[in-house]
Structures are given as C-alpha cells and as structure tokens.
C-alpha cells in the first residue's frame, strides 16, 4: 500500500530549490512520503531499494504528483559496492548530494524463542549496517555540500517492546550513530538528526505489526499520518532547523510515554495466537 503525502504545505514551495536528496527505502511507506515532501519543496531526488520495478513505478507516480525530478536506482543497502555505484550515478546525474535519508528497514513480530540467528542478523544488516553503508558511500558529497542527514529510527527500545528486540536493537544503534555523526561531522557544516515515527496509519508496517492498534493508547488520541512525518522531515532539512543536530525527533503523539498497558497489549498478541 502506498502512502503518499497530501499537498498541504507549511513552508514555502521553493525552500529546497537546487538541492538533491538521496533516500534509501524511498519507494514506499513513510520514506516515500518523506521524499515526496522534499520534492514538493523544489528538490530533486534519487530513491534506492532492491526492487527496481517497484522503485520505477513509485518514481513515476511521484513525478506525476509533484512535478519534481526523481529517479530510481536499484541497490541493496547491505552491499557497499552497490551503494557506491548508486552515489556515483546520483552525482553524475545531478552534480551533488545535499540531503540523505536512511530509511531502509526490515521488521516483523517474533518472540525471542522463535527469532532465528539469521532473522536477527538480517534486520541488523538492513537497518544498522545499511545506515552506515549508505552514509559512508555518500559522505564526501554531503560534506562538500554542507548538507544534512536524517536517520529513520523508532521508539521500540525506549521502554522495551515485546517481540521487537531485533528492530529495537538496530534502532538504538542508529540513534547512537546519529549522535556520533552529529559531533564528528558538525565542524564540516553537516547536521545529522533522526526521526522516530509512532504508529502511522495506512502503511505496510502497521498492517504487519498492529492491524488492531487502539489509538486510545496515544495521548493525542489518533494514529499518525505519513504527512506528520513528511512535515517533520521538511522542518529538519530546512533552515528553520539550522542549529539542530544530534537529535532524534519523536513524532508519535506521545505514544511511547504511555507505558501503562496491563501486560501485553492485544494488538501485539492477536497476530501471534498459536505461535507462542
């Protein structure tokens, strides 16, 4: 299911004119919405993922919906040589890279007893190593443009979420990278931040992880939208945030603070009935 961003715009249309975004996972879900929002404000974009057919379809749809220029490049974030080639093609096409979104991720519900060695390693490789690999490949260009990086995170490890130790561990390490990179790259004029989305409606992730999610668990009493994350992306890349670095912005309506469930919530237990 695609989750495109409505045309509501808080910032001026052209604030990213002349800028180039490179986004992993930008062909679907939250990261597609983030990419689309940056396109709507004047940037050009490159989206990367493993499936070129799906990427090209998403790029075509985004070109039609935004009028912006976006291209698709197939690459596996677990393979540095493919990312280096994707970066080379991006710079060859657009001349530079200003913004980077590390959004490629894998996740599923799994109790510890049923979580295989391979499954745990795969999530770490896609989420954590993928974030490192793409940033490493694009680093000299981000430094040259004094650009900005957003790492897509999650609140899973803030309180310890059942059946999510693989993804939570990866996101905890990604948040650590955000802080280390902010300190090390700051003197080069590069800002590094994260976004930790809460439960976002109409996304594949919520269909897999929380099909019966009860929005009353959110203090603001609603699920989030892709647009909520997209607008936060525009803010963090914009000059309005030009003295913000090393921060992971939680965009979840206060959800993670509400750790008052009696035992495991039904929205987690229901998909696992008969599997524990």
Domains of the chain plus CATH, in order, are: 9-269 (3.40.50.720)
Given the residues 24, 28, 153, 225, select the one marked as catalytic.
153
* 245 among known catalytic residues: no
Residue 32 pLDDT > 50, yes or no?
Answer: yes
- Per-residue pLDDT for 276 more than 60? no
For the ranges 3-12, 99-108, 183-192, 212-221, which has the lowest average pLDDT?
Answer: 3-12
pTM for this entry: 0.91
Q: How far apart are CA 189 and CA 254, in angstroms?
A: 31
Residue 206 and residue 213 in contact, taking contact as beta carbons nearer than 8 Å: yes
Q: How confident is the model at residue 209 (pLDDT cuts 50, 70, 90)?
A: low
Query: Does 171 qualify as catalytic in the annotation?
Result: yes
Residue 127 pLDDT:
98
Catalytic residue (choose from 19, 24, 28, 171)? 171
Look at residue 4 and tell me whether its pLDDT is greater than 60: no
Residue 225 or residue 2, greater confidence: 225
Q: List, for residues 189-205, the tens digit of each pLDDT value.
A: 999 999 999 999 988 77
3-state DSSP helix/strand/coil % of the chain, to nearest 5: 50, 15, 35
């Amino acid at each position: 299911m695609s989750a495109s961003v409505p045309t509501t715009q808080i910032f001026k249309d052209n604030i990213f004119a002349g800028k180039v975004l490179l986004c992993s996972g930008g062909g679907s879900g939250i990261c597609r919405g983030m990419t689309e929002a940056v396109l709507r404000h004047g940037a050009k974009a490159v989206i990367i993922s493993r499936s070129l057919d799906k990427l090209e379809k998403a790029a075509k749809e985004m070109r039609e919906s935004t009028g912006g220029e976006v291209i698709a490049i197939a690459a596996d974030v677990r393979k540095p040589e493919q990312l280096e080639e994707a970066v080379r093609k991006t710079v060859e096409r657009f001349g530079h890279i200003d913004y980077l979104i590390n959004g490629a991720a894998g996740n599923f519900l799994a109790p510890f007893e049923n979580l295989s060695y391979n499954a745990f390693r795969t999530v770490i490789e896609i989420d954590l190593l993928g974030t490192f690999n793409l940033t490493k490949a694009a680093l000299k260009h981000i430094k040259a443009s004094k650009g900005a990086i957003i790492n897509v995170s999650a609140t899973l490890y803030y309180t310890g979420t059942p059946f999510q130790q693989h993804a939570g561990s990866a996101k905890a390490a990604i948040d650590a990278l955000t802080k280390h990179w902010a300190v090390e790259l700051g003197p080069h004029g590069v800002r590094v931040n994260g976004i930790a989305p809460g439960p976002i409606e109409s996304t594949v992730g919520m269909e897999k992880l929380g099909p019966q999610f009860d929005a009353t668990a959110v203090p603001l009493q609603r699920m989030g939208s892709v647009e909520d994350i997209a607008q936060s992306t525009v803010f963090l890349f914009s000059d309005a945030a030009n003295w913000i670095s090393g921060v992971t912005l939680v965009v979840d309506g206060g959800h993670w603070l509400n750790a008052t469930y009696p035992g495991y919530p039904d929205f987690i237990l229901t998909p696992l009935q008969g599997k524990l």
